[in-house]
Chains A and B, each alone.
Chain A
Amino acid sequence: MNLFTICYLILCLFLGGCHRPDSHGEIRFALSQPPLNLDPRYATDAVSERINHLLYRSLVAFDSHSRPIPDLATWVEDSPTHFRFSLVSDSIRFHDTEVLTSRDVAATYRSILELKDSPHSAEFSNILEIRSLDDRTLDFYLKRPDKDFPSRMVLGVMPAFLITQGHDFAHHPVGCGPLKFVSWQNALVLERLGDQQRFVLQDVKDPTVRVLKLVRGEVDLLQGDLPPEMVAYLKGIKTIQVKEIPGSNFSYMGFNAQDPVLNDVRVRKAVALSIDRQAILRYAMVGGSREAGAILPPEHWAGNADLIAYEYDPVSAKELLREAGVGLPLKLVYKTSTDPQRVRLATIMQSQMQAAGIDLEIRSLDWGTFFNDIKRGDFQLYGLTWVGIRTPEIYRLAFHSEDVPPRGSSRGRYSDPVLDKLIDEEDWQGATRRIHEQLPYVPLWYEGQFVAMRSGLKDFAPRADGNWDSLATIHY
């Protein structure tokens, strides 16, 4: 029994040594996923992109209407294929204290063009040549005219000499953003320039555990990625403050236009009319969520505020299906990921569609399988969300008949010469109207953004696209 006694004693010692969590002045941020890569040339996941936005700065930023505005540099369009960028200051320093010059910008963009395995290389493949004129000025020459070129210049700038040395930016990032890298063991530790406020970014995958940690004070804030009932629970806790704002990330239901039933616009309209978005927004979504009419929200410079949402009307939906000569109930298969909230929303839509004579079968697949099926066109209906979209180029990528995967993201294989022409002419108002009429997607909603944090924290406002730029200002 001695062994047992020792085990019990060890347990008692552990228990006795435990006490309430202490933050030591750090602000602890719970993440639903760990960042995968802090090298902006490689990062594609939302968490890495959001952290990189704090670690690095780019030539261009965006205003509240998603118009490009100067960040590190101003620009002039000398010709449709020639843009000149000038750094706004000659005293911007990297975190390792080196001064940022145009040579660093040139080295950053040259390196991405040379990398074979960067997911961002294709975005910059139109660059023909980069010339650094002096410490503050550099020219970009393009292969083809691109008037939206400045909007693409959002890659974090890295020090040229570290790029040359093959520095491991993925795990030891060096940028010139408001936060600098400190360490990355079990958690990622960052420090704010100026007041040395430290941030500990912890990966806590389970949403229930994230909430429990916030309530107990083991973390100080979390943003997004919680089901609505947990947000409601947090709102009822005195020591927690919850802030909600309208979001801009667009959720939609996609159709396979090559499906013999779904290539009829009347059937697509019937599906749109069979979803009660208002009820879903009221009962199953976080605050700040709102109905969507197009990929870009109305406040975007290329947004269209005149689009009228499809109201829930199962009677008209059934009528449209009969007009289309479809036998009722119409059996359709809807593919989604295994995310519990996505499955729940799919189940609600399945129930609503029954009234319109649509028998929706839900297939919930792991992310790799699901996304692979979508790209291969192996689906009838699917649900996805566009996150952090800035430019109307998305309409070309998502709906132009030349942009079917693997070339683009026209996953529904939709082909409409009228829409192609509107997109080619960059008539975004016309294109959004046409998309709204023809419904290659059923626009669902822009998911609201929220932050939940300990009551002592101030000056953190959630952003519409879910970025974490407010870490630059938050304080106790």
Chain B
Amino acid sequence: MMIKRIAGEAWVVLGVLVLTFLLLHLVPGDPVEVMLGESATQSDRQALREELGLNRPILEQFGLYITKLAHGNLGYSIHTKQPIADLLASRVPATFQLAALALAIAVAVGLPLGIAAALHAGKWPDTMASFGSLCLSAMPHFMLGPILMLIFALALGWLPVSGMDARGSIILPAVTLGFGLAAILTRMTRASLLEVLNEDYVRTARAKGLPESQVIMRHALRNALLPIVTVIGLQLGSLLAGTVVTETVFSWNGVGSLLVESIEKRDYPVTQACVLVIALVYVTVNTLTDMAYSALDPRVKFLG
């Protein structure tokens, strides 16, 4: 079953690769023009196009790309001439680090707020949590980032504005990235917990005289977690997509900023490699989410 599932995911990744390859070759802008500039002669352009394989039919180019990929060869950056594997190796850890902390912040903020809102439904904690989550989910990263910089870096002086080298420099980008997901988690947790709190088994637990904390944590929250885990899994994809903006704003040298740079420079091989990494992470996380789902609820089987 697992093999069948992995094969299915491989098709998804292949589909992403085909789409990315086609889209990149359809958009205007020629890497040869970007590299050689306007003063180059036609013969120079033609020679470089041949060297890069850009003069071949698009299907042949795609075939060559897939063949190389199958051999683990991601190719070279057209502009910096560096092996793309090296470029990714230097960038992927930074993005994972950022996404992991953002997820931790989202869970640390979203779950307690959602629980508080559900337990005090209709009262001020609920109103505050709902209002806060609405504001945060409506606020784009490029706006939230500078606001946080103004408060925590400039006004309070606690954190660096941006960059990667100073202590604590990961916090503001991670908070920027994580708050959007925290808002969604708050609302999801609230809704899911409210539904579970009205179930018979919760009433039974309370009737047994269990402390309220045990009722919430062991009986209600565990059952409410199922849809929340699904949301976390699905939102991880958006979290990675969010790094594109957040990394650019915060000068965080990860895959997101590499993707933006490569698109600007029409560095096709680098763009394809970045999209491949993001697609791989996305399908892997989705699979792991399904596996976690069955672990949380034994009635659900991981069928692949």
Residues of A within 8 A of B (CB): 1, 3-4, 7-8, 10-11, 14-15, 17-21, 34, 36-37, 44, 116-117, 119, 121-123, 125, 170-171, 186-187, 202-206, 208-209, 212-213, 215-216, 218, 366-369, 371-373, 375, 397, 405-409
CA distance A121 to B41 in the complex (A): 9
Note all chain A residues with C-beta closer than 8 A to B160: 18, 21, 216, 218
Q: Do B163 and A18 have beta carbons less than 8 Å apart?
A: no
Asked if A116 and B41 make an inter-chain contact with CB atoms under 8 angstroms apart, the answer reads no
Complex contact A117–B149 (CB within 8 A): no
CA distance A7 to B108 in the complex (A): 7
Q: Are B108 and A8 touching (Cβ within 8 A)?
A: yes
Tell me whether A369 and B154 are in contact in the complex, defined as CB-CB below 8 angstroms, given that A4-B108, A18-B159, A119-B36 are known contacts: no
Question: Residues of B within 8 Å of A, CB-based: how many?
Answer: 58
What 1/0 flags go to B145-163 for Cβ under 8 Å of A? 0100110011001111111
- Contact: B29 with A406, CB < 8 Å? no
User: Do B171 and A119 have beta carbons less than 8 Å apart?
Assistant: no
Q: Looking at the complex, which of B14-22, B56-64, B66-74, B248-256 is the stretch in contact with chain A?
A: B248-256
Q: Which residue of A lies closest to B165 (CB)?
A: A186
Pick from A11, A202, A208, A372: contact of B30, CB under 8 Å: A372
Residues of B within 8 A of A407 (CB): 41-42
11 A–B contact pairs at CB < 8 A?
A: A3-B107, A14-B168, A17-B168, A18-B168, A170-B80, A171-B82, A206-B248, A209-B249, A212-B149, A372-B28, A406-B45
Whether B79 lies near A37 (C-beta < 8 A) is yes
Contact, CB under 8 Å: A368 / B45 = no
Known contacts A21-B160, A406-B42, A409-B38: A216-B153 contact under CB 8 Å: yes
Tell me the nearest residue of chain B to A378, going by C-beta: B28
Interface residues of B (CB under 8 A from A): 27-30, 33-42, 44-45, 47-48, 51, 79-82, 104-105, 107-108, 111-112, 146, 149-150, 153-154, 157-168, 170-171, 217, 248-251, 253, 261, 264-266
CB distance from B77 to the nearest CB of A (A): 10
Report A225 CB to chain B, min CB distance, Å: 14
* A44 partner, pick from B37, B171, B248, B264, beta carbons under 8 A: B37
Residues of A contacting B146 in the complex (Cβ-Cβ under 8 angstroms): 206, 208-209, 212
Contact of B37 among A17, A119, A218 (CB under 8 A): A119
Known: A7-B108, A8-B108, A14-B171. A171 touches B249 (CB 8 A): no
Give bound CA distance, A428 to B165, whole Å. 51
Residues on B with C-beta less than 8 A from A218 are 160-163, 166
Shortest CB-to-CB span from B136 to chain A, Å, is 17
- Identify the closest chain A residue to B171 (Cβ): A14
Chain A residues with CB under 8 Å of B163's CB are 186, 202, 204, 213, 218
A11 to chain B, nearest CB (A): 7
CA of A371 to CA of B33, assembled, Å: 10
Whether A116 contacts B51 by the Cβ 8 Å rule is: yes
Give min CB distance, B173 to chain A, whole Å.
11
Contact assessment for B265 and A36 in the assembled complex, using a CB-CB cutoff below 8 Å: yes
- Asked if residues B29 and A116 are in contact (CB atoms below 8 Å), the reply is no
Does B39 lie within 8 Å of A119, measured CB to CB? yes
Which single residue of chain A is at the shortest CB-CB distance from B45? A406
Query: Which residue of B34, B107, B167, B264 is within 8 Å of A17 (Cβ)?
Result: B167
